[in-house]
Amino acid sequence: MIEVLFNSPDICIFVGIGVKRDSAYVCLGARLKYRYSVLHDKTTPGNKYRDGAIEYNLGNKRNLMVNSAMVTTPFKPISLKEFLSLPETKPASEYIDGKIIQKPMPQGEHSTIQGELIIALNGALKPQKIARAFPELRCTFGGRSTVPDVTVFTWDRIPRQDDGRIANVFKIEPDWTIEILSPDQRYGRVTKNILHCLNNGTQLGWLIDPQEQSVLVYFPKQQPAFFEDVNDVLPVPDFAQNFKLTLGELFGWLLE
């Protein structure tokens, strides 16, 4: 995961895993696509990478020193408009409180649950044109641009083009947002994304934790509910009452 701390037309400062000596990356936050590489690690003999002060070279611009524990350069938020003009990344990057935060790469449990859940949701809701589930769909609203693992939109709220085709850009909140926690993902950050959805009109949020085999369900303006028994029937929005799923069925997909 990469978290961008500072952006300008010339430089980009970030912290996160994935930085290795002599590796090249695209500068996520810069308006120009400079490429840069690690030149020298001041902290370790032999220039082997570790957390600490690292010197970067950004094209013919200037060198800068970055310390992953302490960054002295002032934080300069990037605007939402600037973020949306940048190319998409893999995994997807999200815009939260003026910062670019890249999601972790999905692993086996995450991908299995996501794929099976999409199939189950669309099997129950799409034939009757009640709603449709989308994987990894960028939703931009309320000053943020996030990519929930699964979003569900009621049929009449799905943005469409003039000819009836589904639109590419979704500038509205989902009716139901579902996040699947990855091993190296922060619980609080994912929760904040769900709460942002609820505060902007989303009817329900799920936070699925494969490691703990539990689901935390968020409702608007009330306490969340925690589910960990295999026989628990998970709550769904009012529009999806014909979709039934127990906790045991959800995590049973991991055994198939």
What is the CATH number for 141? 3.90.1570.10
Task: Give 111-146 pLDDT, tens digit per residue.
Answer: 999 999 999 999 999 999 999 999 999 999 999 999
State residue 194's pLDDT score: 98
Q: Are residues 183 and 61 in the same domain?
A: no
Helix, strand, coil proportions of the chain in percent (round to 5)? 20, 30, 50
Burial class of residue 214, CB neighbours in 10 A (0-12, 13-18, 19+): middle
Total tally of structural domains belonging to the chain: 2
Residue that terminates a domain, selected from 102, 117, 134: 102
The model carries a pTM of 0.73
Q: Are residues 90 and 40 in the same domain?
A: yes
State residue 118's pLDDT score: 98
Q: Are residues 122 and 58 in the same domain?
A: no
201: helix, strand or coil: coil
Task: Give 39-93 pLDDT, tens digit per residue.
Answer: 333 333 333 333 333 333 333 333 333 333 333 344 567 899 999 999 999 999 9
Q: Are residues 116 and 151 in the same domain?
A: yes
| Cβ contact 113:253 at 8 Å | yes
Burial class of residue 79, CB neighbours in 10 A (0-12, 13-18, 19+): exposed
Nearest to 195 by CA among 228, 211, 217, 227: 217
